[in-house]
A = this chain, B = another copy of it.
Amino acid sequence: MLTAISDPDDLRIEAYRAVRERDLLGRQHRFIAEGEVVLRVLLRQQSRFEVESLLLGEGRVEGLSVALDVLPSEVPVYVANRQVMDAIVGFPIHRGILAVARRPMLPPINVLLANLPETALVVGMVGLANHDNVGGIFRNAAAFGADAILLDQETCDPLYRKAIRVSVGGALVVPFTRTSSADALVRALEEASFEVIALSPSGAETLSRVQPSRRMALLLGAEGPGLPAELLARTRAVSIPMSGGFDSLNVATTSGIALHHLTQANKG
């Protein structure tokens, strides 16, 4: 349902007004997806995320027409010229593509884990407050087919606009939920018979020696502080050996290295 918008104050596009300011406030039950790649992933994931509306630049409608065929006919697709769109959003929106969708309810962690297949690989994030890193980890988890992602209470929102963009849509692909604490996260994994591998520069074992097991969880902490000592003590702590004097890997890159090893180790 294409609807032309010519007045930036049109009440129908209220959800797109002042995108950056709203990013900071949060949108409660909604999130914003931006750009063509992310929109295409969102349209494939409508069973999980209900799309409420789209706002497209005039020049983008034709190229998306086939992709938009999968959108229910009652979902409004607002169309505006560049000038009106920038005025609504509050900054130049070069990609010319925005969507508003509903956030789903997050399942309790034990329910999420109980529904995973017998052979499963999950990623746990502890204290990751950087949207680039969280987005990058979702991208890698999607690329290597991880079954789920678990977030502790301090890890930032994967459905924040920038995190979705950095994930190249991976934040809409890999099922996730949030726990009340890192401790509750690890406990739930143990109860569901997951072997918990904690990546840490202090790990005595090296990643390349780890043999994949049936149910594995990869635990990642923030780059500076790393994982809390009490978590390292009750999990299998694994390190990635690095060159002397430059012991520094980005946490998203680390997740890619570990997921590649755990999914490919026995295929060499």
Chain A residues at the B interface, C-beta cutoff of 8 Å? 136, 139-140, 142-145, 168-170, 173, 206-209, 240-244, 246-250, 252-254, 256-257, 260-261, 264-265, 267-268
Contact = CB atoms under 8 A, between A and B. Distances in A.
Most B CB contacts (10 A, CB to CB) among A143, A207, A244 go to A143
Contacts of A139: 248-250, 253
Contacts of A140: 249, 253
A242 B207 contact: no
Nearest to A167: B248
Copies of the chain in the assembly: 2
Contact of A253 (B248, B252, B261): B252
Nearest to A244: B145
B261 A241 contact: no
B144 A268 contact: no
Nearest to A252: B253
Contacts of A142: 243, 246, 248
B143 A242 contact: yes
B253 A208 contact: no
Given A173-B246, A256-B256, A264 B143 contact: no
Given A136-B253, A240-B260, A260-B257, A246 B143 contact: yes
A244 B145 CA distance: 8
A268 B208 contact: yes
Contacts of A260: 207-208, 240, 257, 260-261
Contacts of A246: 142-143, 145, 169-170, 173
A35 to B, nearest CB: 13
List the 10 closest A-B pairs by CB distance, nearest first. A145-B243, A208-B264, A253-B256, A208-B268, A142-B246, A143-B242, A257-B260, A168-B248, A253-B253, A143-B249
